[in-house]
Each structure stands twice: as structure tokens, then as C-alpha cells.
Amino acid sequence: MNAFIFFKRAKIHYNDYGKGKAIVLLHGFLENSTMWNGFITQWSKNNRIVTIDLLGHGQSDCLGYIHSMELMANTVAKVLTHLKIKKATFIGHSMGGYVALAFAELYPSKIKGLCLMNSTSKPDSKDKQKNRDRAIETVKHNYKTFIRISITNLFRPKNRRIFSEKIKLVIHEALKTPLQSIIAALEGMKIRKDRQEIFRDGDFKKMMIISKKDPVLEYQSLIDEASNNTIKVVELPDGHMSHIENKKSFSYNIMHFIENI
């Protein structure tokens, strides 16, 4: 089902497929709910799959100058309330993981499981915050180039040729993201809180998908973050886009995670 609701005057787009345990899929920065299209048929056979375009992405409107992770989490909560979903498992890619963690902090009773997919519960370092500011200035001056380079750099270098056609499609979707939405998301990610304790101590099933050659997140830092016997760790060999670069292993592990909740 392709549908919309309103949140603080902003139109929010979502899809609702299948029946069973509720699984909420949250995309990353410059992505939208179409990133999950290759998995919906399989995953919705025994589950209720909800995909949401986060604020300013896909078919959802922008709402102000800063899209904080808390604001996005409240948007997700509004969709789930509308759908009468009381409890769900979240799969969050990159920024989607940050939003899922904010949701876990704000609505702890509504979360059954959380998978951080190429994501982290740590906040931006000072250097990363400066890089966000540089990115904001860059995108203001050269929007299309910023998007093309940003997307390409998410892939392991050797995979940029192997998945060149897929990368073109990801860029095509990313170019639908308005300038103000990009800036609002960058500002929101820059100021996000440290949620290591929320993830570590939360009363829900946990999994981290970590890619050994992720150009965005440091491998050893993620391994250290996951050094807790309540967090299942899946290591994949390639880059930040594990749903493309390691699609088969990624889907298998997500299905296994869902089945065991």
C-alpha cells in the first residue's frame, strides 16, 4: 500500500506490505524507501513490512532547517500510530539507524528489535562535525556533483565498476532529494546524541551489520562498539551499501534476525 499521512503540516510517505510481525525499514541519507524494493516480496511473506520516506527524502516533505533524529523518530511514531502498530522491529541503514536509536530512546516500549546496518550508536566526532559543515557548503555550490561523489564514495573502490549501473540508479533517486532537505539532514546528523548506552542496555534484540571496507565508518570502532554479548554481529566484506554489495548475505542475515524475534 502506497500512502501518506501528515506530520506537523509535512506530508509523509510510507508503504505497508504483508501481515505478521511488524518490521520497519528506515533508509539512509540521500536514499528513500525504494532502496528496499528488492527485498519486499521475500520479507513480506510472513511479516508486515513498513517502509517510510524520512523527512525531506523520497516523497516526504521537508520540515524546517534541521531534521534532528528525534524529529524524524517522532515522524516514524506518527506513521506507526496511524497503522495501529504497537511494537515493531527496526532495520536502519546508516542515518536510518540513527533515527531508529532515537526512536528506541523516545519510545522504548514500542521496540522489539533493532538492527544497525552500516550505522553506529556513537555521535559524530569533532572532525566529522566539521566534515558535515563542509558538505553543507559544498552542496550549496554544486548540488549534483556533491550527490554523485557522495553516493559513489559509499561503495568499496573495487565495487564502483562492478556495480556501476546500480550506482547510477542510486544517484538517480538521490537527485530527487531537495537541497534544503539535504542540509536539514546533515545538520540533524551533526548534532545527534551519543546513544551507545541506549543500544547496549535496551531491552530488545540487537544486531549490527558491519562491513570490513566501509568507507564511512571505521571497522575497528564498530567492532569495539559491538563488544557486548547481547549484540549479534554480522561482518560483511565490502562497503557501506551492504544491501547492494553483499545483497545475498545481507538478506539472509536480516531474515534470520527477524525470524528469531
The answer to whether 54 touches 99, Cβ cutoff 8 Å, is: yes
**So what's the pLDDT on residue 16?**
98
**So what's the pLDDT on residue 137?**
97
- Number of domains the chain is built from: 1
**So what's the pLDDT on residue 228?**
77
**So what's the pLDDT on residue 229?**
77
* DSSP secondary structure of 108-135: GGGEEEEEEES--SSPPPHHHHHHHHHH
Q: Going residue by residue through the chain, which has 261 residues, state the pLDDT in tens, using 9 for 90 and above.
A: 789 999 999 999 999 999 999 999 999 999 999 999 999 999 999 999 999 999 999 999 999 999 999 999 999 999 999 999 999 999 999 999 999 999 999 999 999 999 999 999 999 999 999 999 999 999 999 999 999 999 999 999 999 999 999 999 999 999 999 999 999 999 999 999 999 999 999 999 999 999 999 999 999 999 999 987 789 999 999 999 999 999 999 999 999 999 999
**So what's the pLDDT on residue 1?**
73
Domain extent, residue 166, equals: 2-259
CATH number at residue 248: 3.40.50.1820
**So what's the pLDDT on residue 166?**
98
pTM above 0.85, yes or no: yes
**So what's the pLDDT on residue 40?**
97
